[in-house]
Amino acid sequence: MTAETVRREVRSSAELQEVCLRTLKKCPGFERVDAIVIQPRDHNDGAANWTVAAVRPRVDNQFLRGARETIGLLQQTYQLNPVEVQTRGAKRRG
């Protein structure tokens, strides 16, 4: 199966932040995290249209590196609602 054929569940920013928070709290170093900030990004060739922009409180870089696989799985599973991507992009350009 190629990246283009992968079907992702579409979620709002708020839903995606909640799913990420719930999932990442299970990763070492993320136990005390209480907020995840999602940022839209350009969607190229089946890549995720969002990224984790920040975690609060901050975690050490070694824990972020350790969570890359989990974040990658989340990006393969979920897509940020395209309407929100367009709206946020327009705000940045405006």
Secondary structure element (H or E) that encloses residue 11, with its range:
strand 9-11
CA distances from 56 to 8, 40, 77, 91 (A): 26, 18, 23, 24
pLDDT confidence of residue 27? 98
pLDDT 10s digits, 17-66: 999 999 999 999 999 999 999 999 987 778 899 999 999 999 999 999 99
Measure the CA angle with vertex 53, ends 47 and 56; round to 5°.
140
Spacing of C-alpha 10 from chain mean position: 12
pTM comes to: 0.84
pLDDT confidence of residue 36? 98
- Whether residue 3 is predicted with pLDDT greater than 70 in this model: the reply is no
Residue with tokens 């199966």: 1
**What is the C-alpha separation between 88 and 67, in angstroms, rounded?**
26
- Whether residue 89 is predicted with pLDDT greater than 70 in this model: the reply is no
Confidence of residue 84 (pLDDT cuts 50, 70, 90): confident
